Amino acid sequence: MTSKYTRIYADYNATTPCDQRVVDTMMPYFNMHFGNPSSSHHAHGWLAMDAIDSASETLGTALGVSPGELVFTSGSTESINSILKGLYLKGRSKRNHIITSKAEHKAVLDTCQALEAEGAKVTYLDVTANGLVDTQQLKQHISDTTLVVAIMLANNETGVIQPLQEISELCKTYGSFLFSDATQALGKIPLDDFFDHVDFACFSSHKVYGPKGVGLTYIKDGNEKFLEAFMHGGGQQRKLRGGTYNTPGIVGMARAVELSVKNLEVEFARLRGLRDQLQEGLSAIEETVVNGAAASRLPNTLNVSFKYVDGEGLLRALSKQVSVSNGSACNSANVNPSHVLTAMGIPEVLAFSSIRFSLGRYTTQEEVEQIIAIVSREVAAQREANILWERRKR
Ligand code: PLP
């Protein structure tokens, strides 16, 4: 990566660079095959619609679902809004209760809050110290008024993977839908039985080396009728999501997902090796805690609290050397401690001193070694300036 800053990128959960093979696949659809896929009366339109159909097939095969179960969107945020609001608008007269967890992405939490203002009753489940949804609490709250349970597959800040099978069984008992935000899981862990458990799901292209501004909603076969359309106009995508297809984006996402899924096994092992190396190196720094370590986690994600360190100060010190984050990118203007870590019962002061490292396709072992050296140095410098560090052993 060339820029005026020499720095290491370790924020792949925020976004990923577009793979050159994806860019190459997209290029012809900007100017050569530029037709509107909905122009059904001429060859320019047919060619573009062929590309959309072929992308749907590729995505269906890569995910192990039927292409007819997929709807293209502008990303996971739109998919989340369309599923939760779409279900609520259609189903609220019979069921108006939604269950989610306090550790979900803000796209889910803010949408639930907006629905509360519309009259929905929302239960926000606690998570355990490991970051896992408290299924005992879910059992206490789920009832035959529960419309949908929204629990993510893998957390963007800690990488913690949720027990969806157990949650799905409870949902089936009560006739509630299970929606799972799988944005961070795609391309990182196998989704073998994921689609057996969920009724609705969402994915985002830019987390898997595809273009930004493209995503997918998964709607299990037969469930379309439970959703109110989110975007009206034009009648595209079975009237569920009007608007001209983003042909280059969709073609690019299909290629990106295909590449990620194809290489998953090898990449999983490689990333886990690098993440474990990073975890070991950073754990050698005194007074550090790895958050979510006891749970099953994504292979690329590491969330560490450095006691006696101000996370903002550390982020600032690291900013020109290593690109990392202290929560989700969408939230980085936020001065509150991470809602995910506080939901896990981590004290605010420790949550403030936490950094998320997320590795990816272009991370090398040398970079991991450099990260360990840089972070060790900067943590020591931050502590030097903290009187509490000196006094801690007295
Ligand atoms: N859900 C999770 C778990 C995410 O990590 C993100 C992105 O940070 C989103 C949803 C939002 O995705 P998008 O950027 O495609 O709207």
Residue 144 lies in a domain: yes
What is the distance between the alpha carbons of residues 12 and 363, in angstroms, rounded to a whole number? 10
CA distance 79 to 67: 16
Three-state secondary-structure class, residue 267: helix
> Does 330 share its domain with 209?
no
- Domain membership of residue 79 (yes or no) is yes
Q: Is 112 a catalytic residue?
A: no
Q: Please report, for the domain that includes residue 216, its CATH number.
A: 3.40.640.10
Q: Pick from 262, 289, 315: which residue ends a domain?
A: 262
* Helix, strand, or coil (residue 355): strand
Residue listed under structure tokens 């998570």: 127
Domain-embedded: residue 2: no
244 and 286 assigned to the same domain: no
Q: Which amino acid residue places its CA nearest to atom 5 of ligand 1?
A: 156
Give the closest residue to 210 by CA, choosing from 56, 17, 59, 70: 17
User: What residues does ligand 1 touch, defined as CB less than 6 Å away?
Assistant: 75-77, 105, 107, 152, 156, 181, 183-184, 204, 215, 328-330
Do 148 and 290 fall within a single domain?
A: no
* Residue to substitute in 184, 209, 301, 332 for testing ligand 1 pocket (most ligand atoms within 8 angstroms of CB): 184
Average pLDDT over residues 153-165: 97
Which pair of structure tokens corresponds to residue 175?
């006739």
Hey, whose CA ends up nearest to atom 7 of ligand 1?
14
Report CA 194 to chain centroid distance, whole Å: 15
CA distance linking residue 120 with residue 175, whole number of Å:
18
> Two tokens at 201?
């799901």
As for how many domains the chain has, the answer is 2
Note whether residue 193 is domain-resident.
yes
Q: Are residues 267 and 255 in the same domain?
A: no
pTM of the predicted model as reported, rounded to 2 decimal places: 0.95
User: 310: domain CATH number?
Assistant: 3.90.1150.10
Report CA(204)–ligand 1 centroid distance (Å): 7
Q: Is residue 318 part of a domain?
A: yes
Ligand 1 site-directed mutation target among 328, 338, 339, most atoms within 8 Å of CB: 328
120 and 184 in a single domain? The answer is yes
Q: Is 161 helix (H, G, I), strand (E, B) or coil?
A: strand
Sign of CA dihedral 127, 301, 209, 317: positive
- Tokens 């994921």 belong to residue: 194
pLDDT at 5 over 90: no
Question: How far apart are the CA of 108 and the centre of ligand 1, in A?
Answer: 9
Residues making up the chain, counted from first to last: 394
What burial class does residue 224 get, using C-beta atoms within 10 Å of its C-beta: 0-12 exposed, 13-18 middle, 19+ buried? middle
Same domain? For 171 and 256 the reply is yes
In percent, the amount of the chain with pLDDT more than 90 equals: 90
Are 89 and 79 part of one and the same domain?
Answer: yes
Residues 6+ positions from 317 with CB-CB distance below 8 Å: 378, 381, 382
Q: Rounded to whole angstroms, how far apart are CA atoms 161 and 28?
A: 38
Of 203, 201, 164, nearest to 187 (Cα)? 203
First to last CA, the chain: 47
Of 223, 244, 262, which residue constitutes the final position of a domain?
262
Q: Which residues neighbour 316 within 8 Å (Cβ) at sequence distance 6 or greater?
A: none
Q: What is the pLDDT of residues 281-299, one digit of tens each?
A: 999 999 999 999 999 999 9
Please check whether residue 1 lies inside any domain of the structure.
no
Q: Which residues contact 203 (CB under 8 A, 6 or more apart)?
A: 76, 79, 182, 183, 186, 215, 216, 218, 257
Q: CB neighbours of 68 closer than 8 A, spacing ≥ 6? A: 221
Write out pLDDT tens, residues 323-368: 999 864 444 455 689 999 999 999 999 999 999 999 999 999 999 9
CA of 14 to the centre of ligand 1 (A): 8
Of the candidates 222, 242, 262, which is a domain's last residue?
262
Q: What is the pLDDT of residue 329?
A: 45
Find residue 378's DSSP bridge partners: none
pLDDT band at 174 (very low <50, low <70, confident <90, very high): very high
Question: Rounded mean pLDDT of the chain?
Answer: 95
Q: Is residue 88 part of a domain?
A: yes
Structure-block tokens of residue 62: 């890569």
- Shortest CA distance to 158 belongs to which of 328, 329, 375? 328
Distance 183 CA to ligand 1 centre (A): 6
Instruction: State the distance from the centre of ligand 1 to the C-alpha of 51, rounded, in angstroms.
Output: 26
Give mean pLDDT, residues 121-132. 97
Q: Which of 18, 112, 171, 330 is catalytic?
A: 330
Structure tokens at 185: 């899981």
Taking alpha carbons only, the member of 27, 49, 34, 41 closest to residue 237 is 49
Residues 229 and 335 in one domain: no
| Token pair of 226 as six digits | 């439970």
Ligand 1 mean position, distance from CA 76 (Å) = 5
Do 152 and 228 fall within a single domain? yes
For residues 236 and 102, state if they share a domain. yes
The domain of 369 spans: 8-16+263-391
Q: Is the pLDDT of residue 164 over 50?
A: yes
Question: Are 226 and 90 members of one domain?
Answer: yes
In a domain, 28, yes or no: yes
Same domain, yes or no: 119 and 206 = yes
